[in-house]
Amino acid sequence: MKYQKEALTFEDQAQRLFDRGLEANLEELIRRLQAVSYYRLSGYLHPFRLTDSDGYQPGTTLNEVWQRYCFDRRLRMLMLDGIERIEVAVRTQLLYKFSHTHGAFGHCDERNLPRLKVRDYISWRECLLVETSRSKETFAKHFSKKYGDTHQNLPIWMVAELMSMGSFLTFFKGVDDPVRSAVARHFSMPAPQLESWLLALNGARHICAHHSRLWNRVLGYAPGLPQANKHPDWHLKDNDDKNLLTNNRSGMLMFVILHFLRQISPTSQWQKRIETLFTEYPSIPPADMGLPQDWKTHPLWQTPNS
């Protein structure tokens, strides 16, 4: 089928939303559309649509939709803050343990990343060289000036500062099992679980960095849960035999981030900031985030690192 829709003026976009049942002041709606765009705002309108229709449920107001948009924007900022701290902490541990095991230039030997296929290792190394060549960092220029006649590559602790999150994840996935396990033990979990959580957080990081809708989105990569026999609180059931936490929604990522931050930064106010956000937006339905109604009393939210 050929796509034949044409671009609409802001006034026409507002009229279309009116025709579909959105209650709003016309001038305010046009201002919102000029600031946010019709397509982005429509993602927050979608839960209000009537079944098998483009129309909206009776009583759907711009104010309620805008509340969800503002909540999501602030949620993304808090998520990014937590993810940044986790990424830095995991990088620190990985670099420390890898360099003490394999030396400053251990990443230049593919035998030290035995979990990567040869072509993946070569691609990863090429990416590092590109990231190094593009760098404007003073330390990279200084190293090249002083040691460039002998070393084409930066030491691992320098090049790690230039790695994208994708390159860093490839590094973690590729290192030998003793190093991976040592890093994971620092965060009180097995290596496969740490990798799963890092991949899930990386997906959320991309969503946040591109200012996309996060709060009720189904995650492309869901974080794996700890073993039920050792960590039963991650597997609690309610009276209807449903998971209290749905692991493919943003609510689960809140619990994952909190689990890390309790180890990385015990004095962090991140948990209180999340709770404050929900208090300021009481109309946000927790179920759309994969959270139970009483999620603040969940043992994982209340008890340090079950």
| d(C-alpha 118, C-alpha 39), whole Å | 43
| Residue 305 reports pLDDT greater than 60 | no
Q: Which amino acid is at 97?
A: K
- Neighbour count for residue 202 (Cβ, 10 Å): 17
Tell me the angle at which helices 38-45 and 26-36 cross, rounded to the nearest 10 degrees: 110
3-state secondary structure of 154: coil
pLDDT class of 304 with cuts at 50, 70, 90? low
Determine if residue 293 is left, alpha or beta; phi over 0 gives left, psi from -120 to 50 gives alpha, anything else beta: alpha
| Residue 241 reports pLDDT greater than 50 | no
Tell me what the mean pLDDT of segment 64-91 comes to. Answer: 97
For the stretch 285-288, contacts whose Cβ atoms lie closer than 8 Å and that sit 24 or more positions apart, written own/partner, are: 286/251, 288/47, 288/215, 288/216, 288/249
pLDDT computed for residue 117 by the predictor: 96
Min mean pLDDT across 15-29, 61-75, 147-161 is at 147-161
Length of the chain: 306
- Whether the predicted model's global pTM rises above the 0.95 cut: no
Write the pLDDT tens digit of every residue in 37-71.
999 999 999 999 999 899 999 999 999 999 999 99
| d(C-alpha 258, C-alpha 193), whole Å | 15
pLDDT computed for residue 284 by the predictor: 94
> Is residue 240 within 8 Å of residue 234, measured between CB atoms?
no
| Domain range summary for the chain, segments of one domain joined by + | 10-60, 69-302
61 forms beta bridges with 23
Write the pLDDT tens digit of every residue in 178-210.
999 999 999 999 999 999 999 999 999 999 999
Tell me the angle at which helices 191-209 and 250-264 cross, rounded to the nearest 10 degrees: 120
> Is residue 113 within 8 Å of residue 175, measured between CB atoms?
yes
